[in-house]
Structure 1
Amino acid sequence: MAVKKVFVFDDNKDILDLCTFILEDAGYEIRTSETANNIEQQVSEYMPDLIFMDNWLPDLGGIQATKAIKQNPDLKHIPVIYFSANNDISALANEAGADSYLSKPFDISTLEEIVKKHLS
């Protein structure tokens, strides 16, 4: 069985490190990026099975980045989990066209559950 790949976009290095630690420990391959620049190229080069997208990304924000992925015929099948501490996270995820969302701060088991759900 091929190892499932997760791509996490977040401008917070601590969150990227935490996600890397948790997801590698759970047996996934992970790539992280602190920016959504050239989002389609970044995603195409890795072709992850799942994407976590932070709302507050420098330059291209999470909503625009998610829309770019969802409008790309080669990438739109990849589930995007919207990732934010914003109170309106469900509305933001909806506006972005994300498949699901995860509020920050999150606990490890919630992160693992959402990954399992979208990758099983």
Structure 2
Amino acid sequence: MENKKVFVFDDNTDILDLCTIILEDAGYDIKTSSTSNNIVDQVMAYMPDIIFMDNWLPDIGGMDATKALKADPLLKNIPVIYFSANNDVKSLADQAGADGYLSKPFDIEELEIIIQKHLTI
């Protein structure tokens, strides 16, 4: 069975490193990016099973990046989980059209639960 692929977008390299360690330990393949430049091309090149999208990304920002992915017929079915330290992460996720959200700081269990929830659909 192939590993599920997770793509994490965040401008904070510490968070990217943390996610990489956690998710590789849990048996996922992971790719990270600190920019939302050419978001559709980045995602198309990897075709992940799930995407984590930070709100504060350089260039177009998490909200516009999520909307761009959801507007693409080949990518729109990939679950996008919005994650942010904003108090209103749920409403940001709704506005962006994301499939779910995760508040920062998050614990490892929350991260794994949300991935399993969206990958078993």
Show CA shifts across 1:32-73 (max 9, x none). 000000000000000000000000000110000000000000
After TM superposition, the structure 1 = structure 2 runs for residues 67-86 of structure 1, keeping only pairs within 5 Å, are 67-86=67-86
TM-score, scaled to structure 2: 0.98
Query: SS at 1:35's partner residue?
Result: coil
Query: Structure 2 unaligned runs (5+)?
Result: none
Cα distance between partner residues in 2 of 1:22 and 1:56: 22
- Deviation of residue 2 (structure 1)? 1.6
For 2:20, the equivalent position in structure 1 comes to 20
**Identity over aligned residues, as a percent?**
73
How far off its partner does 1:118 sit? 1.1
For 1:106 and 1:18, locate their aligned partners in 2 and report how far apart those are by CA, in whole Å.
11
**1:30-49 equivalences in 2 (<5 Å):** 30-49=30-49
CA distance in 2, matches of 1:115, 1:74: 20
Alignment of 1:109-120 (within 5 A): 109-120=109-120
Alignment coverage as a number of residue pairs: 120
| Of 110-119 and 43-52, the range deviating more from structure 2 | 110-119
Q: CA deviation at 1:111?
A: 0.4
Q: Which structure 1 residue ranges, 5 or more long, are not aligned?
A: none
Deviation at 1:29, TM superposition (A): 0.1
